[in-house]
Amino acid sequence: MSSRRVRHTARLTPPLLLAAALTAFALTPSAGATPTGAVPTPAATPAPKQPEATGTGGAVASVSAEATDIGIDVLRRGGNAVDAAVATAAALGVTEPFSSGIGGGGYFVYYDARLHKVFTLDGRETAPSTADQNLFTENGKPLDFWTAVDSGRSVGVPGSLLTWQEALDRWGTRSLAQSLRPAEQLADHGFVVDQTFHDQTAQNQTRFSYFPATAALFLPGGAPPAVGSVFRNPDLAATYRELEHHGVDALYRGDIGRDISSLVQHPQVDPASGWYTRPGAMTPADLAAYDVRAQAPTEVDYRGLDVYGIAPSSSGGTTVGEALNILNHFDLAHTSQVQYLHDYLEASRIAFADRNRWVGDPRFVDVPTRALLSQRFADSRACLIKPDSSLTSPLAPGDPRHPSGGCVDAGTPAPTTAEGTHTTHLTVADRWGNVVSYTLTIEQTGGSAMTVPGRGFLLNNELTDFDFSPAVAGVPDPNLPGPAKRPRSSMSPTIVLKDGRFDFALGSPGGASIITTVLQVLTEHVDRGLSLEQAIAVPRISQRNLAATEAEPAFLGSADEAGLTAIGEAFTLNPEIGAATGIQLLPDGRLQAAAEPVRRGGGAAAVVDPEP
Ligand code: GLU
């Protein structure tokens, strides 16, 4: 565990910038400006998004063209993967404010090429010290989910800013101030609103309108910013400037933190909205007590590769890891596509049954992490899978502490509970071979819908990832709220090594479907021979120990669906699953960055020196 270490930085020289990458300037209307948002410089237009880039010198893949450009610029100027990842994350706080930012948290996985070692940071949001298991109950009943989301009650102590500082202190070469400055300028100058940003704002319009500070920022003139207009966030630029001058203490022990806790305790709602929002209990002391946890990664051996992920409080590493251990029983490279998909779905179904029963915050519950990741436990679960019929969900969990020799389930199934569907993932590699795989979030798209007045960022609703009431009567639930406890996550930033060297890295947003997205992309790549770019593009299906398997539209009606249905699988539509990014090292030593061609409006992959 790490203590907070603050690097005090003097104001550093010259602004780094978008310069090389952001050459053209778009003179577009400034409809997105906040009332205080008039700035002299027009928004910069980055290079168009592309889902694949191959070359040398370093690579970045994120969902945002501006954020990827900023990361590439850091690499080009000699920064390493951690420097670039933090700068990219800070920029995502500007262009993806509904999915990330200093009001949220996340999980950071780092491969150090010199040490040939993988490290992780758990920057998950944390419940206030006064929380107990009744955080989301009233009159003995669980609160309605959306009532909880749009409230101070759902806001966890944010971890992202301290994660950035911790990562820079441990492995970076640049200061926090240097890393924030490009994003500060991006917030000041603005970016051009695309369809995805417009649509995400429109989806949130009603609840954003409850909160005056949010409406003023994201609903200029009472409506979502028009596609093609420029969105500026001078309040966020000023917040980043304050952090550049005063360091993370401005948030964890200073006035930004006081503004956060004051808003959580006294949410400011438009009286005309008729909305009543529950206050939360977060205090300045909760912010001061926050720590980023440095902990060992999860690790499994899959087809001779070492797959590293994030340990609890996320369920990502254990669930992806257990499913891979199960899949070690099947030769997915030399079987039909239908049989491969069947094995993938069944392994995921089983791993979710175990995840739901056993994984929570390890500071509060005895999570059998090592046992969940053991091949012996996976062996005792893999034998449930039959080639010609599907298992039925909900499937009961196994007991990793006492894996039986036979295929016997150990108890009552615990349901897969609701989780948000948005977040963001970035992947960075540098010229020295260091790699970052980082997933960050504010939970729902738009988080709690509460913008800190005058600060330009939304607060998370991460505490709604707790179970509101015990999942199964009479069975211990590892994911009930508790004091200073972290809600279980599904985030699965992953780094894969071959013979101790970087091979590829990936991650995705998507709530609990993060786990299945990572698992599907990873197996499509490793077993089915697709490049990472191709593996990211294929239609996704997601089985999370639910009666029906979710499938994207392109999968429904396919021969693969027919083949799986014939052996008992049932499908339901999910319009879009995940928004992955990744980087792979090609056999000739070049890097290939990969992002989504279509999902979430497409992602942005780039390299420092593109191949000729
Ligand atoms: N809150 C979710 C988790 O931690 C992430 C939200 C999302 O990806 O949409 O797993």
Kindly give the distance from the C-alpha atom of residue 117 to the centroid of ligand 1, in angstroms, as a whole number.
26
Q: What Å distances lie between residue 438 and 40, 118, 179, 316, 512, CA to CA?
A: 34, 13, 16, 12, 16
Question: How far apart, in Å, do the first and last CA atoms of the chain sit?
Answer: 45
Q: What is the pLDDT of residue 19?
A: 32
- Ligand 1 atom, smallest distance to 508 CA: 8
**Mean pLDDT in runs of 10 for the chain (612 residues)?**
27 29 27 34 72 98 98 98 98 98 98 98 98 96 94 98 98 98 98 96 97 97 96 98 98 98 97 93 98 98 98 98 98 98 98 96 97 96 96 94 69 63 91 98 97 98 96 89 98 97 97 97 98 98 96 98 98 95 97 97 97 72
Could you identify the atom of ligand 1 that is nearest to the CA of residue 512? Answer: 10
Q: Mutate which of 463, 489, 517, 577 to test ligand 1's pocket (most atoms within 8 Å of Cβ)?
A: 489
d(CA 382, CA 129): 41
Quick one: which atom of ligand 1 is closest to the CA of 420?
9
Ligand 1 centroid, distance to 157 Cα (angstroms): 16
Cα of 105 to ligand 1 centre, how many Å?
10
CA dihedral 202, 205, 207, 212 (to 10 degrees): 140
Count Cβ atoms within 10 A of the Cβ of residue 282 and give its class: 0-12 exposed, 13-18 middle, 19 or more buried: buried
Tell me how far apart the alpha carbons of residues 551 and 138 are, in angstroms, rounded to a whole number: 36
For residue 562, give the nearest of 316, 337, 231, 248 by alpha carbon: 337
Please answer whether residues 208 and 219 qualify as being in contact, where contact means their C-beta atoms are separated by less than 8 angstroms. yes
Least Cα distance to 254 among 242, 238, 236 occurs for: 242
Q: Whose CA is nearest to atom 4 of ligand 1?
A: 489
186: helix, coil or strand? helix
Q: Which residues contact 284 (CB under 8 A, 6 or more apart)?
A: 253, 257, 258, 261
| Nearest alpha-carbon partner for 248 in 104, 128, 102, 95 | 102
Query: If you measure from the C-alpha of residue 508 to the centroid of ligand 1, how many angstroms do you get, rounded to a whole number?
Result: 10
Strands in 293-386 per DSSP E: 293-295, 298-302, 305-309
Among candidate residues 283, 423, 451, 549, the one labeled active-site is 423
Q: In this structure, are residues 496 and 111 in contact, taking their beta carbons and an 8 Å threshold?
A: no
Cα 324 to chain centroid distance, Å, stands at 21
Atom 1 of ligand 1, nearest CA residue: 443
CA of 84 to the centre of ligand 1 (A): 23
Cα dist. 357→102, 450, 533, 554 in Å?
31, 32, 34, 33
Which atom of ligand 1 is least distant from the CA of 462? 1
Is 560 in contact with 539 (CB distance < 8 Å)?
A: no
Ligand 1, atom 2, residue with closest C-alpha: 511
CA 550, CA 294: separation in Å to the nearest integer? 34
Pocket test for ligand 1, best of 439, 441, 445 (most atoms within 8 A of CB): 441
Ligand 1 atom nearest to CA at 315: 10
Mutate which of 63, 125, 459, 465 for ligand 1 pocket (most atoms within 8 A of beta carbon): 465
By most ligand atoms within 8 Å of CB, the mutation choice from 310, 423, 460, 600 for ligand 1 is 423
Looking at the CA of residue 445, tell me the nearest atom of ligand 1. 9
Atom 3, ligand 1: residue with shortest CA distance: 489
Whether 423 is catalytic is yes
Considering only CA atoms, which of 55, 116, 199 is closest in space to residue 600?
199
- Residue 47: per-residue pLDDT: 77
Please name the residue whose Cα sits nearest to atom 5 of ligand 1: 511
Distance 448 CA to ligand 1 centre (A): 13
Query: Per the structure block, which two tokens stand in for 537?
Result: 């593009």
Classify each residue of 186-203 as buried b or exposed e, where b means 16 or more C-beta atoms within 10 Å of its C-beta.
Answer: bbbbbbbbbebbbebbee
Q: Ligand 1 centroid vs 342 CA: distance in angstroms?
A: 25
Q: CA-CA distances (angstroms) from residue 116 to 477, 496, 498, 523? A: 37, 12, 11, 24
| Residues contacting ligand 1 via CB (< 6 Å) | 419-423, 441, 443, 462, 465, 489-491, 509-511, 514
* pTM for the full predicted model: 0.92
Six token digits for residue 403: 């894996």
Distance in Å, CA 492 to ligand 1 centroid? 10
Tokens of 212: 């005056």
The helix (H) or strand (E) run that includes residue 147 is: helix 145-149
